[in-house]
Amino acid sequence: MVASSRFPIREPFAGGLEAHTYSFARELHHRGHRVSVFAAPGSDLGFPVGRLEVSPHRSSETARLDVAAPPARWMEEHHAYLSLMMSLTRAGTDEFDVVLNNSLHHLPVAMAAMLPMPLVTTLHTPPVPWLESAIEVAGGTGTFVAVSQAMSRAWAHAVPTSVILNGVDPDRWPAGPGGHGAVWSGRIVPEKAPHEAIDATRQTGRSITLVGPVLDQRYFERAIRPRLGPHVRYAGHVHQDRLGELVGSSAVAVVTPQWDEPYGLVAAEAMACGTPLAAYARGGLTEIVTPQTGRLAAGGDVEALAEAIDGAATCDRPAVRRHAVEAHGLARMVDEYEALFDATLLARAA
């Protein structure tokens, strides 16, 4: 499994991609697969797993004098993935049956044809220039998975995809008792717009708790800190057990992306706790949020979102959890990936 070379896979997770990779690798391990993971230094998956180390790089003084030199972090990531892909070209199929590319970097896609084993790439984002270019250069080599129908449509001009919805482990997201307040979880950055969740919740007379890492401190100081108070609380960046408690003890989970959300892992996590959703109708969220599990509002419409919060609070919590387990459970997701791996290996052998 190829993950991020920047963010380690360990609690508390930096974001949904790291949490997803952890759960996926853990379930594969529990099913008896031998799993190796390429991930940022400091990763700790908590179970026996092979490690494909990130190769460090520091440009020479001469190279750094180049006026067109890219940023150091860009070069570090480029070197890490280039080193990985070169090592995989030398690995035999007796070492790895298949490579699952769960990263957002272009090099695994661009170099897929060089590998002696098949590469399956999960598209976790809408089209971005680097990945579009890599797919074009590679001639579509490899197998591609979209995490929602919305992402499959978005990528249709570049490559055909199978759709496998992401999944969460309901055992790690237990049913909660609910409550009166709302909760918002995720990376605290402008494109996630937690400030709009605050404003909408305030209109309902409910309190709201924000949870997650602050990745844009200037945004937090400008748009979040002034809104904090008796009914708006920032709980910090917490481990998953504590996050599950906060989500499960809330009446509604609010999801406010400013872009076409590829899937919305925080939405599936909330539903697994029995907590219904009030979300903007963007991207994959239109497939996740049903009348049974929550309410949708037009993107950016704070007043409509306030109405959605009150409407979602009327949903039946046990029904919300049942839907999450059946439609967005980890077991279902891994079943579908296993079938795809089998089909990919059979096609390669033919």
Tell me, what's the pLDDT at 93? 80
Given strand 99-101, what is the order of strands in its sheet? 99-101, 119-123, 143-146, 162-163
Q: Token pair for residue 310? A: 């009150």
* Residue pLDDT, tens place only, 73-132: 888 889 989 999 999 999 878 889 999 999 989 999 999 999 999 999 999 999 999 999
Tell me, what's the pLDDT at 260? 94
Q: Are 2 and 84 in contact (CB under 8 A)?
A: yes
Residue with the bigger pLDDT between 271 and 140: it is 271
Q: Token pair for residue 49? A: 């797993």
Tell me, what's the pLDDT at 345? 94
Q: Are 163 and 143 in contact (CB under 8 A)?
A: no
- Taking residue 185's Cβ as centre, other Cβ atoms within 10 Å add up to 26
Tell me the average pLDDT across 32-52: 85
* Residue pLDDT, tens place only, 16-25: 899 999 999 9
By DSSP bridging, strand 277-280 and strand 294-297 are parallel
**By CB neighbour count within 10 A (0-12 exposed, 13-18 middle, 19+ buried), where does 132 fall?**
middle
Most confident option among 58-72, 86-100, 263-277: 263-277
Q: Which residues pair with 210 in a beta bridge?
A: 184, 234
**Phi and psi of 170, rounded to 5°?**
-65, -20
pLDDT over 70, % of the chain? 99
By DSSP bridging, strand 143-146 and strand 119-123 are parallel
Q: What whole-number distance in Å separates Cα of residue 1 and Cα of residue 147?
A: 16
Tell me, what's the pLDDT at 47? 76
What does the mean pLDDT of the chain come to?
94
DSSP 51-119: EEPPPP----HHHHT-TTPPPHHHHHHHHHHHHHHHHHHHS-TTT-S-EEE-S--SHHHHTGGG-SS-E
CATH of domain 182-328: 3.40.50.2000
Q: Are 39 and 105 in contact (CB under 8 A)?
A: no
* Residue pLDDT, tens place only, 307-344: 999 999 999 999 999 999 999 999 999 999 999 999 99
In 3D space, the residue among 140, 237, 143, 260 whose CA is nearest the CA of residue 188 turns out to be 237
Cβ-based neighbours of 330, under 8 Å, separated by 6 or more: 23, 24, 27, 167, 168, 169, 170
Q: Token pair for residue 235? A: 């709980």
What residue spans in the chain does CATH classification 3.40.50.2000 cover? 16-167+330-349, 182-328
Tell me, what's the pLDDT at 171? 95
CATH of domain 16-167+330-349: 3.40.50.2000
164 pLDDT exceeds 90? Answer: yes
Our CA angle for 272, 32, 321, nearest 5°, is: 10
DSSP state of 192: G
Tell me the average pLDDT across 289-293: 97
In 3D space, the residue among 118, 121, 115, 106 whose CA is nearest the CA of residue 159 turns out to be 121
